[in-house]
Amino acid sequence: MATHKLLLLPGDGIGIEVMPEVIKVIDWFQARGVAGFETETGLVGGSAYDAHGQAISESDMALATESDAVIFGAVGGPKWDAVPYDVRPEAGLLRLRKDLALFANLRPAICYPALADASSLKREIVENLDIMIVRELTGGVYFGEPKEIIDLGNGQKRGIDTQVYDTYEIERIGRVAFELARKRGNKVTSSEKRNVMKSGVLWNEVITALHKREYADVTLEHQLADALGMQLVRWPKQFDVIVTDNLFGDMLSDIAAMLTGSLGMLPSASLGEMNPKTGKRKAMYEPVHGSAPDIAGQGIANPIAMIGSFGMALRYSFGLGDAADRLDKAIADVLASGLRTADIKGNATSTCSTGQMGDAIVAALDKASA
């Protein structure tokens, strides 16, 4: 039985509340002999700042580098609003993405039929939706230099962020999108703002050339990012795989989340380049929802995005697609049974706690394998 090294980073807010639920699932797969997991736990975000004055310590960064997968909760909260910019909670997350070179962020948005009424859109628009947003994660305006506020000396300041993409960055994320599309609906929609941005012009050129050269069997469409936002709420089922840059991907994936009923439903995988020698790639798995300070500490957060993120680890890091399918089915079964956390309440008359949802998913795994 292969053993995989996991680094658990619960972080802040509801990250701390959903992590115990994914541990139940990890333990379940381990006990069933599906795989061995060696877990370590570290600090990130505000909790790391409180402990060491940094958004992530060097020793936890070293553990992350050595791990086969980082399982990440969420960071941030009003408690740390006033901390210096470079040690703010989000800096820990961004450092993990950058230093582990996790350039490919996969954000699937799936609407389970049982949840179609929890979405703010009509059932027929979202029911059975299955799209994959592929967000570039280590470039663009998030990391471009210069990034600063300068004093102009006349009572004015200037804030600068730099949107920058090189050919290789666009090509490698494009490849991830085309490869995924071949295993799904065979369609890629590439999105940028080439009508106002040079980086968008290059993005469009590089994706078009890559398609022509290596992926002509896949259908390729281009949509401007603003139009794509509109199309996502108008007719989301037209999409299969969407590939876009770091900032547009951040925004569009939050929009896509609401199509599924709740931000509490969206898992994600952040992947690095495959190492041809080891056949392994660096990876981090995190729910798309943040630390949700408004509901933190109440035990009512939805753990499905966190548990689904571990499902993605089974699939994309450990080659355990069957186990991932079993986990997805257990989640669907629990939703079909009517159990609901508050965020996906819809027309339900009662809601369950974070822990009850985690227990129900483990029970559904048990039941399906009895």
Residue 240: active-site member: no
Q: How many residues does the chain have?
A: 370
Q: Is 93 in the site for ligand IPM (CB under 6 A)?
A: yes
The helix (run of H) or strand (run of E) holding residue 128 is none
Residue 179 Cβ vs ligand IPM, minimum distance, rounded to whole Å:
22
Residue 132: count of CB within 10 angstroms of its CB: 22
Dihedral (Cα; 281, 182, 171, 212), 10-degree rounding: 160
Name the one range near Mg ion by CB under 5 A: 117-125, 162-170, 245-253, 308-316.
245-253
Cβ neighbours around 153 below 10 Å, total:
7
250 binds Mg ion (CB under 5 A): yes
Contact 228, 122 (CB under 8 A): no
Using the minimum distance from each CB to ligand IPM, give the nearer residue, 4 or 246: 246
Q: Is 290 in the site for ligand IPM (CB under 6 A)?
A: yes
Pairing of strands 157-160, 36-41: unpaired
Q: What residue 93 binds from ligand IPM, Mg ion, none (CB within 5 to 8 A, per partner kind)?
A: ligand IPM
Catalytic one among 193, 328, 333, 343?
193
**Token pair for residue 361?**
């998913």
In this structure, are residues 342 and 257 in contact, taking their beta carbons and an 8 Å threshold? no
Q: Residue 214: which residues within 8 A CB-CB, separation 6 or more?
A: 175, 178
Which residue type does 111 have? C
Q: Which does 90 bind (CB under 5 to 8 A by kind): Mg ion, ligand IPM, none?
A: ligand IPM
Closest CB 93 distance from ligand IPM, rounded Å? 6
**Nearer Cβ to ligand IPM (1/85):** 85
Contact 334, 360 (CB under 8 A): yes
Q: Which of 12, 49, 112, 142 is catalytic?
A: 142
- In the stretch 233-252, what mask flags binding to ligand IPM with x, by CB under 6 A? -----------------x--
Angle, CA 63 vertex, CA 29 and CA 306 arms, to 5° = 40
Report in angstroms how near the CB of residue 255 gets to ligand IPM at its nearest.
Answer: 12
Q: Is 343 annotated in the active site?
A: no
Q: Write out the residues near ligand IPM by the rule CB under 6 A.
A: 90, 93, 250, 288, 290
Q: Write out the residues near Mg ion by the rule CB under 5 A.
A: 250
Residues with active-site annotation: 142, 193, 226, 250, 254
